[in-house]
Amino acid sequence: MNDNAETLPHLNTVFEAIASRDDLSSDLRKSLVELWGAHKETQHLLVQARSDIALLSDRVLEKERREKKLESQLLYNRKSGLPNHFVLDNDLTGIIREAVVAAHPRTIAVMIVALDEAYEMAHKALDRQYTDWIIYECAGRLQDILPANARLYHTRDNEFVLLLVGVDPLINLSAYAERVRETLGDNFKFPEYTVRIGCLIGSAVFPRDGANKTQVLRSADIALNTAKHLQKSYLEFRPNMQSQAIEKMELQDAIIRALEEQSIAEISRQFSLFFQPYFAVSRGEAGGLCSRLIGAEALIRWEHPTRGLVDPCRFIPVAEESGLIIPIGSWTLFRAAEHLSEWAELGLNELSVSVNLSPRQFKDPNLVENVTKALGRSKASPTRFRLEITEGSVMDDLDQGLRKLHKISQLGVEIVIDDFGTGYSSLNYLRRLPIQGIKLDKSFIDEVLTSSHTQGIIRAVLHMAEDMGIEVVAEGVESFSQADYLASIACPVVQGYYFGKPLQADSFKRFAEKNYGSTVAHSEKNH
Ligand code: C2E
Ligand code: CA
Ligand code: CA
């Protein structure tokens, strides 16, 4: 364009000089004027064309720039700048393909690093710019310790994946996982706060833990989830983890099916309550051990149509994790209340029933309403109805927990702390809780005859409980000697295989009718 701007005035002067000559014939002058006109027209078109080309090339550049940006948005994480799961997928496919055709196939390790709940908490508590910076900083720290044969990806907000090619899985992986934990474990310092974040790591190795990309990624994910579940910081995939994960899914599916049938009849067909008796113990007139039936703990049983009897220790945690414990738990509350009411109608009205509540059930906002309905419908006595909760259920959120305990107490229902001694185990906090009893965990009873340390703890608990006016139940009593010792130190209530195993509802009813109101004397020879 500049060329034209300069040449045109110059040509103009030349043309005017020629045209002003008076020796030109009129024909020649006419041709000259026409030629000049055509020239100017050509020049004009040329200028136009050049500007069109410039505009077009600007547009092409803009399009390329946008495409690049879009590509980087699609393939790179905005916060960390690291390639995302699309790139990981693509890279892993390529690396595995190369490994398969190589003369000496190399192992490829997939390591998933998940930031722990401290990051989730920071996410909730702090402004976005802080957590964005934490992620950026994590990416930087991981990159700083990245070995030459490794690639790093940012696959989810709190999750990074490392591909390590040619590692010795047994030696290098756990050492490397430890370095990852160390570097991410360093404080994140802001002017106002210092944030500390941990991580959980799961790894799997191709070809050992998966024959293709999908399988090896899934194995690493299973290892990570198992680590979360077992509260380990790092786990390598093991084949039994897979069968556990599959079993968990199957169980979940089976519980959903049992509940989907929706009819209470179906739930009642598959689930049932067993009752394990508990007894007041004392020394008889002759100083011997005596017991008297005072109630029973409701323990759920699941008779799966094809699997047979499933242990509650297996399905309760699965139901708890998926939330399915809520419908199962409501059913338990209603059934237990019905049984209690039935016992009272038979004249066994001094017996109480004790129902277990998982942490999630305890937090359920409908709990108090459900208990009220269960008691109302069955006309069971609230003062004979007990709920067993663990220390953790209350301590998770003490204020909320206390409020709920008070509401339950107002119904007249008793609250007992189950598995006492396995959780927070602070005797003093118990004083703040409106409870009527504690169940000393079986692990104490197992050692009651052999460890003087345990004996000391049990005595202290009994002393404190007496002081507070609450009851102590020793659970898991398996022998006469244990029972006898417990009675000798004035432990008021016992439960365990020595006195009675969990019984089907009908069997328990017969057992209760036979034993109700009578005191049974025990001697070592009897058992
Ligand atoms: P838990 O509440 O600590 O219940 C006591 C468990 O110990 C029961 O196992 C019982 O059968 C067993 N047991 C009782 N006496 C003895 C003994 O002398 N020796 C031995 N070795 N074991 C004894 P179970 O019925 O398998 O229940 C296991 C756990 O499942 C329970 O532990 C409880 O946490 C949970 N659970 C059971 N039923 C329910 C329920 O209806 N709802 C909820 N949320 N959890 C339940
Ligand atoms: Ca219990
Ligand atoms: Ca227990």
Starting from the CA of residue 439, give the closest ligand.
3
**276 CA from centroid of ligand 1 (Å):** 9
Q: Whose CA is nearest to atom 3 of ligand 1?
A: 419
**233 CA from centroid of ligand 3 (Å):** 28
359 CB less than 6 Å from ligand 1? no
User: What is the residue-level pLDDT of the chain in tens, covering all 527 positions?
Assistant: 444 555 566 777 888 888 788 888 888 888 888 888 888 888 888 889 888 888 888 888 888 888 787 777 788 998 999 999 999 999 999 999 988 887 776 789 999 999 998 898 888 888 888 999 999 999 999 999 998 889 999 999 999 999 998 876 656 788 999 999 999 999 999 888 888 999 999 999 999 999 899 999 999 999 999 898 888 999 999 988 877 777 777 778 877 777 766 556 667 778 899 999 999 999 988 889 999 999 999 999 988 777 788 889 888 988 888 888 988 899 999 999 999 999 999 999 999 999 999 999 999 999 999 999 999 999 999 999 999 999 889 887 888 999 999 999 999 999 999 999 886 656 677 888 999 999 999 999 999 999 999 999 999 999 999 999 999 999 999 999 999 999 999 999 999 999 999 999 999 999 999 999 999 999 986 55
Q: What is the DSSP string of 479-525?
A: SHHHHHHHHHTT--EEESTTT---EEHHHHHHHHHHHTTPEEEE-GG
Run of H or E including 265? helix 264-270
Residues contacting 132, CB < 8 A, separation 6+: 79
Atom in ligand 1 nearest the alpha carbon of residue 316: 45
One-letter amino acid of 212:
N
502 CB less than 6 Å from ligand 1? yes
86 CB less than 6 Å from ligand 1? no
392 CB less than 6 Å from ligand 1? no
476 CB less than 6 Å from ligand 1? yes
358 CB less than 6 Å from ligand 1? yes
Atom in ligand 1 nearest the alpha carbon of residue 388: 2
| Strands laid side by side in the 108-115 sheet | 150-156, 159-165, 108-115, 199-206, 234-236
- What is the radius of gyration, based on Cα positions, of the chain? 39
Atom in ligand 1 nearest the alpha carbon of residue 274: 25
Give the Cα separation of 30 and 305 in Å (integer): 109
Number of helices (H), then strands (E), in the chain: 20, 18
Q: Given ligand 1 and candidates 300, 309, 356, 360, which is best to mutate, with the most ligand atoms within 8 Å of its CB?
A: 356
pLDDT of residue 169: 65
Atom in ligand 1 nearest the alpha carbon of residue 478: 18
Q: Whose CA is nearest to atom 21 of ligand 1?
A: 476
421 CB less than 6 Å from ligand 1? no
320 CB less than 6 Å from ligand 1? no
State pTM to two decimals: 0.65
pLDDT of residue 86: 92
Atom in ligand 1 nearest the alpha carbon of residue 419: 3
Give the Cα separation of 132 and 493 in Å (integer): 56
200 CB less than 6 Å from ligand 1? no
Q: Whose CA is nearest to atom 27 of ligand 1?
A: 312
512 CB less than 6 Å from ligand 1? no
